[in-house]
Amino acid sequence: MKVLVTGGGGFLGSVVCRQLTERGHTVRALHRNHYPHLDEWRVEQHLGDVRSGDATDRAVDGCDAVIHCAAKAGFWGPPAEYHDINVGGTENVLSACARHGIRWLVHTSSFCVVQDGGDLEGVDESVPYTQRFLAAYQHSKTVAEQRVLAANSPRLATIALRPHVIWGPGDPHFAPRILALARRGRLRVLGRSPKKIDSVYVDNAAEAHVLALDRLQVDRKLVAGKSYFITQGEPFPTDVTLNALLVAAGLEPEKRRLPVGLARVLGAALEFTYRLARVRSEPLLTRFLVNELSTAHWFDISAARRDLGYEPRVSAVEGLLRLSHHLAHERLTRFASLIGLAVEHELASLRQALVVPESAGEASCSR
């Protein structure tokens, strides 16, 4: 079967592509840049943007199924941009699927479609969509999921997965921000009694997508038109999660605490400053991130286990070991690069010192 993965060069999309090829599928990826590692897996790369109906249409043409991972992540930036990519891009995918007779569509959604700012403890898929949006990303992902599930029909079977805080080697979002705060000495554990949160290792999240595609083909009546939470099924207090990440990165655990109310004020102040200065990059601390780190959010994944056959095969401990190895390799690579640059600089200086100036050579000959 030929499967299109939108956002195939991204953090999650890359692993989805790898797992699909390992299962013998022919894989095509749609994304904006070329990724050499996908060439190694013989993934056919189409350069384009899901915001372009034509580019999306060309990528879908000739495929049997689509896994739609492409999205604008994060919680900072123009709301219109989130809407154009996450909602408009999804609509383009749905339109292309209808035009080309695609039978199966797996959509990457997010837990935040039910997040209203309060605690979510052990809830399942019966919890309603939020009516209180805390960020443009959240609103756009909610609308996108609703469009995908509404498009489910006898001709196109759709399913939405809600992975929660995807992490692992190559993570460009959660881990880098936490580690950046820690390295600057600005990370704190929020509140006196940290709440429990769950997450999902990237390989587990990717496998859930592959399993969802399998189940759509085998038993579409059971899973089509539904959404599923995808996590490790191992909720831990926030301070345990953060410190496990710090230790994996070779940093000291964080014991200092900060009241949640003060953290919200700091986040709001940073947001105001960034907007005033028209800074496009996301602040290290935002009110949304404060909410993420100060409220409970873990989910009942029994539906995914029962209907999809999902089981988080990589445990949190194993995942942390893999992440630690990856981060150590990155540090060594950077160190080697710095050493190499220093050596190159010294060699260049030495070569320059050994070169006899032309005028000095002429003076020597005249004598």
82 counts as catalytic: no
The four Cα atoms 27, 30, 34, 36 give a dihedral, to 10 degrees, of -20
Write the DSSP symbol of residue 74: S
Look-up: residue for tokens 């995808």?
230
Q: How far apart are the first and last CA of the chain?
A: 82
Cα 322 to the chain's mean position, in Å? 17
Out of 82, 137, 201, 310, which one is annotated catalytic? 137
Look-up: residue for tokens 């997508």?
209
Total Cβ atoms within 10 A of residue 210: 20
> Cα 322–28–155 angle (5° rounding)?
115
In the Cβ-directed half-sphere of 66, how many Cα atoms lie within 13 Å? 34
SS3 of residue 14 by DSSP: helix
**229: Cβ contacts below 8 Å, ≥ 6 apart:** 111, 124, 125, 162, 164, 299, 300, 301, 303, 304
Q: Which of 69, 30, 32 is nearest to 46 (CA)?
A: 30
Active-site residue set: 137
